[in-house]
Structure 1
Amino acid sequence: MRILAATLVALSIAAPAAEAASPLPGRIEIHAVKSRTLTGEEFLRGDAPGREVVLGGELRLPVGAPPKVPVVVLVHGSGGISAGPDAWARVLNEAGIGAFILDAFTGRGIVSTIEDQEQLNSLAMMLDAYRALDALAAHPRVRADRIAVMGFSKGAVASVYSAAERFHAAYGGPNRFAAHIGLYTPCNVTYREDDKVGPAPIRLFHGTSDDYVSVLPCRDYVARLKQAGADVMLTEYPDTQHSFDTPTSPPLVSIPKAQSTRDCRLKEGPGGTILDAATGRPYSLRTDPCVAVGAHVGHNPASTEAARAAVVGFLREVLLK
Structure 2
Amino acid sequence: MIEESAMTTPGWCSNPWFRRGLLVLCMLASALYADAEAQVARMEVIPFESLTLTDQEFLTGREDGKPVTIAGELRLPRGGNERFPLVILLHGSCGPCGLVLDWEQEFLSMGVATFVVDSFTSRDIVNTNNDQSQLGRLAQTEDAYRALALLAKHPRIDSSRVMLMGFSRGGQSALNASMMRFQKAHLLSSEARFAAYVAFYPSCNYSYSDDDDISAQPVRVFQGTADDYVPIEACRAYVQRLKAKGKDVQLIEYQGAGHAFDGRAYKTPLALPQAQATLKCQWQEGENGQLYNAATRQPFSYNDPCVQRGATLAYNEKAAADARKAVAEFVAATLKPVRSP
Q: For 2:328, give the aligned amino acid.
A: V
Q: For 2:285, give the aligned amino acid.
A: E
Question: What CA deviation, in whole Å up to 9, does each residue of 1:242-286 have, x standing for no partner?
Answer: 111111223421100101111101110111111111122222112
Equivalent residue in structure 2 for 1:300, among 316, 326, 334? 316
Cα pair 2:273 2:309 within 8 Å, conserved: yes
Q: How is 1:1-321 mapped onto 2 (pairs within 5 angstroms)?
A: 24-47=39-62, 49-63=64-78, 67-173=82-188, 174-286=191-303, 288-320=304-336
Q: For 2:157, give the aligned amino acid.
A: V
Question: What CA deviation, in whole Å up to 9, does each residue of 1:197-225 have, x standing for no partner?
Answer: 11110000001110011111000000000
Q: Measure how far apart 1:64 and its partner are.
A: 5.7
Q: In 2 relative to 1, CA 275–136 (structure 1 residues): closer, same or farther, beyond 3 Å?
A: same
Q: Residue in 1 aligned with 2:9?
A: none
Q: Measure how far apart 1:23 and its partner are.
A: 8.0
TM-score if structure 2 supplies the norm length?
0.85
Cα pair 2:84 2:157 within 8 Å, conserved: yes
The separation in 2 between residues aligned to 1:91 and 1:65, in whole angstroms, is: 20
Q: For 2:239, give the aligned amino acid.
A: V
Cα pair 1:205 1:234 within 8 Å, conserved: yes
Q: For 2:282, give the aligned amino acid.
A: R
Cα pair 2:229 2:312 within 8 Å, conserved: yes
Counting aligned pairs with the same residue, the percent is: 41
Q: Measure how far apart 1:156 and its partner are.
A: 0.9
Gaps of 5+ in 1: 1-21
**4+ residue stretches of structure 1 with deviation over 4 A?**
none
The separation in 2 between residues aligned to 1:65 and 1:222, in whole angstroms, is: 41
The separation in 1 between residues aligned to 2:221 and 2:311, in whole angstroms, is: 21
Gaps of 5+ in 2: 1-36
Q: For 2:224, give the aligned amino acid.
A: G
SS of equivalent residue, structure 2 residue 166:
strand
Question: What CA deviation, in whole Å up to 9, does each residue of 1:93-120 have, x standing for no partner?
Answer: 1111111111000111111011111110
Cα pair 2:51 2:142 within 8 Å, conserved: yes
The separation in 1 between residues aligned to 2:104 and 2:58, in whole angstroms, is: 29
The separation in 2 between residues aligned to 1:33 and 1:305, in whole angstroms, is: 34
The separation in 2 between residues aligned to 1:138 and 1:245, in whole angstroms, is: 32
Q: For 2:272, give the aligned amino acid.
A: I
Q: In 2 relative to 1, CA 248–100 (structure 1 residues): closer, same or farther, beyond 3 Å?
A: same
Q: For 2:109, give the aligned amino acid.
A: E
Q: Measure how far apart 1:48 and its partner are.
A: 5.2
SS of equivalent residue, structure 1 residue 177:
coil
Q: In 2 relative to 1, CA 305–65 (structure 1 residues): closer, same or farther, beyond 3 Å?
A: farther
**What is the root-mean-square deviation of aligned Cα atoms in Å?**
1.4
Question: What CA deviation, in whole Å up to 9, does each residue of 1:166-187 have, x standing for no partner?
Answer: 0000012321110000000100
Q: Measure how far apart 1:66 and its partner are.
A: 5.8
The separation in 1 between residues aligned to 2:41 and 2:177, in whole angstroms, is: 29
TM-score if structure 1 supplies the norm length?
0.90
Q: For 2:323, give the aligned amino acid.
A: A
Deviates more, 1:69-78 or 1:43-52: 43-52
The separation in 2 between residues aligned to 1:263 and 1:26, in whole angstroms, is: 46
Q: For 2:269, give the aligned amino acid.
A: L
Q: Residue in 1 aligned with 2:15?
A: none
Cα pair 1:73 1:147 within 8 Å, conserved: yes
Cα pair 1:23 1:93 within 8 Å, conserved: no
